[in-house]
A and B are shown apart, each in its own frame.
Chain A
Amino acid sequence: AQTVTQSQPEMSVQEAETVTLSCTYDTSESDYYLFWYKQPPSRQMILVIRQEAYKQQNATENRFSVNFQKAAKSFSLKISDSQLGDAAMYFCAYRTSFQGGSEKLVFGKGMKLTVNP
């Protein structure tokens, strides 16, 4: 079974600075998807960024980018120019790409990010 590990339960960053959130995963599959979700105090889950394992290029979405290291099974999220609105729980998640599979998401335990003004 696949597992996702977020080893840092909490982090803080100063506004306008850069922070990196770490995630590792375990799988025997060669093709899959990885995601970062954000859960602000409203508790609405919001997709931040996704990465397809067969793509070598790291995904980017505005201030958010990932460092995907497939051999190391590592998937870290970098937030640049941190803003107060970035304060939230962040969850790393894995999904198989197997066609006909359940498409269920396997989540890490999350990490609480605090942004200091």
Chain B
Amino acid sequence: DGGITQSPKYLFRKEGQNVTLSCEQNLNHDAMYWYRQDPGQGLRLIYYSQIVNDFQKGDIAEGYSVSREKKESFPLTVTSAQKNPTAFYLCASSKLAGGYNEQFFGPGTRLTVL
């Protein structure tokens, strides 16, 4: 079945540690996105990528880093520079064929800083 997988589902981190969240898609989508969700907030864009080896900062990129070495994969690293990393993280992907292209979302990763 085609879709987006995120792992792990729950992640715990000690302060000062970097952690990497995995996102993989087998939908052959060109574009991939990372969003952060906090209670009482909508989703906010962290980073996005429209092509392999290229990515752009979203609205809240500080303290995060990404890579796009393969079309299928778009891992997100939460660095120790992120002041308040506890949140729910959602990965999404879409085609880029022009016109309307639906974004499909993964099941999310809940990150908690201890």
Which residues in A have some Cβ–Cβ distance to B below 8 Å? 4, 6, 9, 33, 42-45, 47, 50, 52, 91, 93, 97, 99, 102-105, 107-110
Contacts and interface: CB of A to CB of B under 8 A. Distances in A.
Given A47-B102, A50-B100, A103-B94, 8 more contacts: A4-B42, A9-B40, A45-B43, A45-B105, A47-B103, A103-B96, A107-B42, A110-B42
Contact of B48 (A44, A102, A107): A102
A6 B42 CA distance: 10
Q: Is the interface of A mostly helix, strand, loop or mixed?
A: loop
B56 A107 contact: no
B98 interface: yes
Interface of B: 31, 33, 35, 40-45, 48, 50, 56, 58, 88, 90, 92, 94, 96, 98-103, 105, 107-108
Nearest to A50: B100
A94 B4 CA distance: 22
A63 to B, nearest CB: 20
B43 A91 contact: yes
B45 A104 contact: yes
Contacts of B42: 4, 6, 91, 93, 107-110
Given A47-B102, A102-B48, A104-B58, A109 B96 contact: no
A77 B102 CA distance: 18
